[in-house]
Amino acid sequence: MTTPTAPTASADRPPPPRLALRYLAARRGALTALGALLLLSTAMAVVTPQLLRRFIDRAAESADTSSLASLAAAFMALAVLTELLLVAGDVLAARVAWSATNELRVDLTRHVLGLDLAFSERHSGGELIERIDGDVGKLANFFSRMFLLIVSNSLLLLGIGVALAVQDWRVGLCYAPLVVGAVLLLRRLVGGAVPASAEHRAATARLLGHLAERLGGLEDIGPNGARDHVRRGFWAHAARLLTAARGSAALGVRWPAAAQGLASFGLLLAVLVGALLLVSGQTTVGGAYVFVAYAGMLQMPLLHIAHQVHDLEEALAALGRVGELFAERGAVPDGPGRLRRTAARGMAVELAEVSFGYGDGAFALRGVSLRLAPGERLAVLGRTGAGKSTLTKLLFRLADPDAGRILFDGQDLRGLSVDSVRRQVGLVTQEVWIFHATVRENVAVFDPGVPDEDIRRALCEVGLGDWLERLPHGLDTVLGSGGVGHSAGEAQLLAFARVLIVDPGLVVLDEASSRLDPAGRRAFRAAAERLLAGRTAVVIAHQVEAARTADRILVLRDGEVLELGRREALLADPGSEFGRRWRAAEVTA
């Protein structure tokens, strides 16, 4: 049985720090420049109190005004230069962050789009949007602000320690335990807060996924009286999100309070030590000031990190969740080969004793065998649950059979790359997604290499030539939400045009006309004839009317072949299930 695989750690899953470094490593030049800026700005911040010390001591010694003015001017110049370096560092860090996270977002989206049916059944669209965009957005904030803040303030802590040790080794010894204590406290508090933040993000993703799925089905929810069920589901998800948010917030406030207490203790200690050294004559007024100034500067990095620790928690949790998403592996592995068509249009299709199950102990298909010559049409009939849609998934390689083989032009699909197979299979279902984009982008599915002439030709071939002429901006007309409206029939014909652009060897129509009105079905049939001309086709439907132009008929029942044969032979057989249903529906051949 094919069982949906849960997310698991894999050997090639990079741990979160390594994942971040992978995208930062490509920007070594910018990071080197950023490191130089941070070192220089930190050195200036550490030197500044020494200038003030000399100013105070000179003033206490009644030095001349010109000497004091020179020191004041040097202090102001150093302060301005330090701010300029910090601004330059912010700009450079933002550029590195956004370029790195944009690349990460593209890679993550490509990875998710390459996963299979089992993955899509476990995750809703809203949840994936939150994880790809929301989690990666948190990393952009981390790389641009948090990374810069943590590195710069860590350098400042080290610089203060060195300066104090040079000033007086006894003060340096007093300072060292404070820094070690701050680091240990940070590790402990953040280590406990990251899982809570991860659960907060996960609860947010689940709520958004629930909303996206239910909003997408509003036209069915209202008429069928499911509003109360949707509301109950929303409040249940919202309650879990509130619980997770409270837990994350409670852990997030501990570090600022602890950092404030630690920094205040350091400041008090510096005042006492400076006063004792001053009274005993072991330092000057300026020297005592330096102790207090450095202790005050110690407060800044600790409090800066404290105020940003919640963002740090969310960034680390997001990094872990991104790593989990990269660790997802599909149940449909890529084969080494590429599908090669042997005919200009149609493609030979063979199923040899194909069986497939979803992991619940029952088979959705069992022992299905059939052969289609290039250009032949197969109509697949059966009631709901007979296995028709499962057959579609196997032909489009959204899943692989548990037993048996599927061959296109004699090539086993398991040995072929997923992309090469799907490029040769045109799939049209009853649910057609029209993007909020131009007609050109909708038909070409955002491929800029498709010529406008091919798009117009495809639209005309499926019967949308007059429709295109009526649009206010032709191929540049925007469709979808907020754009020009369209009927269900026009959406299906646009899906046909998409298939024509690709020019596949096999076309699968899965209940494609089930939601159309009679006028829409007539237009659909005419367009389908033009689309399927010369191509191998599998038409899946409930109604026998869909078999009007089929060469072969496959009737499924409970995943097994009930009937398989040529349409004329089954119609002539008085015991045929297909013939009985055909006559009962009073369909004229």
**CB contact at 8 A, 100 and 108:** no
pLDDT band for 290, please (50, 70, 90 cuts).
confident
Inform me whether the pLDDT recorded for 561 exceeds 50. Answer: yes
452 has pLDDT over 90 = yes
Backbone φ and ψ for 93, nearest 5 degrees, come out as: -65, -40
pLDDT at residue 80 is higher than 50? yes
Instruction: State residue 444's pLDDT score.
Output: 92
Domains in the chain with CATH codes: 16-327 (1.20.1560.10), 375-384+423-434+486-584 (3.40.50.300)
Give the pair of three-digit tokens for residue 320: 């872990």
Find the range with the poorest average confidence among 349-358, 421-430, 473-482.
473-482
Residue 585: burial class (beta carbons within 10 Å; 0-12, 13-18, 19+) = exposed
Measured between alpha carbons, how far is 516 from 513 in angstroms, rounded to an integer?
Answer: 5
Q: Please, how many CA atoms are within 13 Å of residue 547, restricted to the half-sphere of its CB? A: 29
* Arithmetic mean of pLDDT, 140-161: 71
Q: 367-395: buried (b, 16+ CB within 10 Å) or exposed (e) per residue? A: ebebebebbbbbbbbbeeebbbbbbbbbb
User: What pLDDT shows up at residue 180?
Assistant: 72
- Position 568 pLDDT exceeds 80: yes
pLDDT surpasses 70 at 106: yes
DSSP symbol at 130: I
Cα gap 535→331, rounded to integer Å: 29
Mean residue pLDDT of the chain comes to 80
pTM: 0.61
pLDDT in the model for residue 381 = 92
Most confident stretch, 41-50, 119-128, 262-271, 489-498: 489-498
Per-residue buried b or exposed e for 54-63, using 16+ beta carbons within 10 Å of the residue's own CB: bbbebeeeee
> Among 48-52, 179-183, 333-337, 555-559, where is mean pLDDT lowest?
179-183
User: CB neighbours of 91 closer than 8 A, spacing ≥ 6?
Assistant: none
Pick 508 or 145 by higher pLDDT: 508
User: Which amino acid does the sequence have at 458?
Assistant: A
DSSP 447: -
Does residue 190 carry a pLDDT above 60? no
Q: Nearest-CA neighbor of 312 among 223, 423, 190, 399?
A: 190
For tokens 């059944």, what's the residue?
Answer: 121
Q: What DSSP letter does each residue of 178-231 carry, written as one string? A: HHHHHHHHHHHHHHHHHHHHHHHHHHHHHHHHHHHHHHHTHHHHTTTT-HHHHH
Q: Tell me how crowded residue 219 is: count the other CB atoms within 10 A of its CB.
A: 8
480-494: average pLDDT: 76
